[in-house]
Amino acid sequence: MFRNKKTKKRARPEFQTIEQLREAIREEMNTRMEGGIPRGLPKAERDKYLLQLRQLRKALRECAYGDEGEKNYLKSCLRQEIARLELSLEEKERLYPFLHEEKLTAARKFDILLFLEMKQSGKDAFLNFCERHGFPRETQMPDGDYFEITAEMIEEVYQEEKPCLSEEDCLTLFCDLVYEGFGHGIIDRLRDCRLDGISGGVSGLPPQFFRYEEELRGSAEGSHSYDSVFVMVRGTTVRLSFLSFGSEKELRRVTKALLRYEAPGELTYYNPYMVNDMKDGSRVFACRPPFSESWAFFVRKFDSAEQKCPEELIRGGGAERLISALRYFVGGGLHVAITGPQGSV
């Protein structure tokens, strides 16, 4: 993308991790945006080049707003950059081992399953995925029961479905993996699905706790706060224990990215929490120490609940009179409160 034909191809080292590839692409984009217009271009080509640079800057800035158009444009730019690098088959397999199922983590397998489901169901992919496989399942623990989707469950579903990926699917998934470092990380595809909400960093222990508790390092009981990802589906909170941000740095980056729309400001020590909206109407609450023990966010979308008319919700003796009264109350601008257990209908 934006390549000057007179520029000689430079030798590059092989990429060992996806982070190295992502950083190389980021540096290349920054170099081109800061390098000015290549010499010798006709006016029409120069105007086109400047327009592409403006679109790229805008996409890099706004892809985390919840704007699907900017997100897709940046992905198309990343696809061109990946093609320009001419990665070898060994590099692609090392960075994303599509052909070696045993090397894929549960998080990657879930991403593949969700990607294929979205091709069929669109934004209802996660809801349909859960309904088809009986998720979420209740887990009983000594301190109470909760709903969870574990790595073992994902492995079981992956073995059952045996997904078959085309060459185009592999390229799209590879590009999406690179894009995660520009967008919302591991929750990027999940956030686009129809959910009531998604949150991260809301459970587990903060990193500083592990500095003083040696016996918790590497222990299952000592899970980090950045290992915490929850979704709310039709009023039910479900833990996705197979997902992790991997580090506090990544959790912090995603939390900041979710707050970018309309530039409300930065989370600071003296302004440790903030409420904002995203471009698609989602509401975001984010916080950081000292307000909370670790960086955390809550995104509320409220779009997985089915729309129902009052006659479906209010039943029994006298329902007609109550519905009629509610219409007058609402029409008259009165405040009406409907209460009940969370998730009830």
Residue 253 lies inside a defined structural domain of this protein: yes
The residue assigned the tokens 């698609």 is 280
pLDDT of residue 240: 94
- Condensed to tens digits (0 to 9), the pLDDT of residues 226-249 reads 999 999 988 789 999 999 999 999
Q: Identify whether residues 267 and 180 lie together within a single domain.
A: yes
Q: Identify whether residues 184 and 266 lie together within a single domain.
A: yes
Q: Identify whether residues 68 and 200 lie together within a single domain.
A: no
Q: Identify whether residues 191 and 48 lie together within a single domain.
A: no
Please report which confidence band the pLDDT of residue 212 belongs to, taking 50, 70 and 90 as the band edges: low
Residue 129 lies inside a defined structural domain of this protein: yes
d(C-alpha 101, C-alpha 78), whole Å: 25
Please report which confidence band the pLDDT of residue 3 belongs to, taking 50, 70 and 90 as the band edges: very low
Q: Identify whether residues 155 and 258 lie together within a single domain.
A: yes
Residue 328 lies inside a defined structural domain of this protein: yes
pLDDT of residue 81: 92
Residue 195 lies inside a defined structural domain of this protein: yes
Residue 6 lies inside a defined structural domain of this protein: no
Q: Identify whether residues 140 and 264 lie together within a single domain.
A: yes
Decide if pLDDT at 220 tops 80.
Answer: no
pLDDT of residue 211: 61
Q: Identify whether residues 73 and 108 lie together within a single domain.
A: no
More confident residue, 136 or 109: 109
**Average model confidence (pLDDT) for the chain?**
86
Q: Identify whether residues 65 and 113 lie together within a single domain.
A: no
Q: What is the mean pLDDT of residues 219-225?
A: 64
pTM of the model: 0.82
More confident residue, 78 or 206: 78
Please report which confidence band the pLDDT of residue 317 belongs to, taking 50, 70 and 90 as the band edges: confident
Residue 2 lies inside a defined structural domain of this protein: no
Q: Identify whether residues 237 and 316 lie together within a single domain.
A: no
What backbone torsions phi and psi does residue 201 show, to the nearest 5 degrees? 75, 15
Q: Identify whether residues 323 and 284 lie together within a single domain.
A: no
Report angle CA 204, 206, 209 to the nearest 5 degrees: 110
Helix (H, G, I), strand (E, B) or coil at 127: helix
User: Within 13 Å and on the Cβ side, how many CA atoms surround 26?
Assistant: 14
Q: Identify whether residues 119 and 215 lie together within a single domain.
A: yes
Bond preceding residue 136 cis, omega within 30 of 0: yes
The CATH number linked to 167 is: 3.30.450.90
Q: How many distinct structural domains can be found in the chain?
A: 3
d(C-alpha 310, C-alpha 326), whole Å: 9
d(C-alpha 314, C-alpha 340), whole Å: 13
Question: Which residue range forms the structural domain that includes residue 76?
Answer: 18-91
Last residue of a domain, one of 91, 107, 135: 91
pLDDT of residue 300: 92
pLDDT of residue 184: 94
Decide if pLDDT at 54 tops 80.
Answer: yes
Please report which confidence band the pLDDT of residue 120 belongs to, taking 50, 70 and 90 as the band edges: very high
Of 36-50, 202-216, 258-272, the range with the highest mean pLDDT is: 258-272
Residue 164 lies inside a defined structural domain of this protein: yes
Q: Identify whether residues 266 and 143 lie together within a single domain.
A: yes
pLDDT of residue 205: 79
Residue 1 lies inside a defined structural domain of this protein: no
Lowest-confidence pick of 53-57, 139-143, 289-293, 300-304: 139-143
